[in-house]
Amino acid sequence: MFLFSEYDTFWIYLSISSLIPLLTFSISRSLVPINKGPEKATSYESGIEPMGDTWIQFRIRYYMFALVFVVFDVETVFLYPWAMSFDILGLFTFIEAFIFVIILIVGLVYAWRKGALEWS
């Protein structure tokens, strides 16, 4: 039988964790000074006025390299708990983790062939 009273702690935690950001944003919005003027629209870089055009193009290669790093960093986060409880989970979970690693290896090979891992 499903009892709602068993989830009281969860509902309290959920309400507090929802209330804190709302309270923080409302306090911040009420305390911030609202000064609209031409200085508000200018770019700000370390207190120095920008020289030249502020819209410059960045190479996509840096973003691709960062995305590949994030994907494999997240892989490590997912594999660590699995490795710690390997003896409890059994063979089926091992096969699932193996398929997960194979998919990531295929993605790595794809990124490698596309040149996403070349820095220069």
Count of domains forming the chain: 1
In a domain, 120, yes or no: no
Query: Cα separation of 63 and 116, whole Å?
Result: 9
Choose between 48 and 96: higher pLDDT. 96
pTM: 0.46
In a domain, 119, yes or no: no
Whether pLDDT at 1 is above 60: no
pLDDT at residue number 27:
94
Closest CA to 75 of 37, 52, 102, 50: 102
43 Cβ contact list (under 8 Å, min separation 6): 50, 54
DSSP, collapsed to helix, strand or coil, labels residue 35 as: coil
Residue range(s) defining the domain that contains residue 63: 4-114
**Mind listing the pLDDT tens digit for each residue in 79-115?**
888 888 878 888 888 888 889 889 888 988 888 888 7
In a domain, 66, yes or no: yes
Backbone angles phi and psi of 45, in degrees to 5: -135, 100
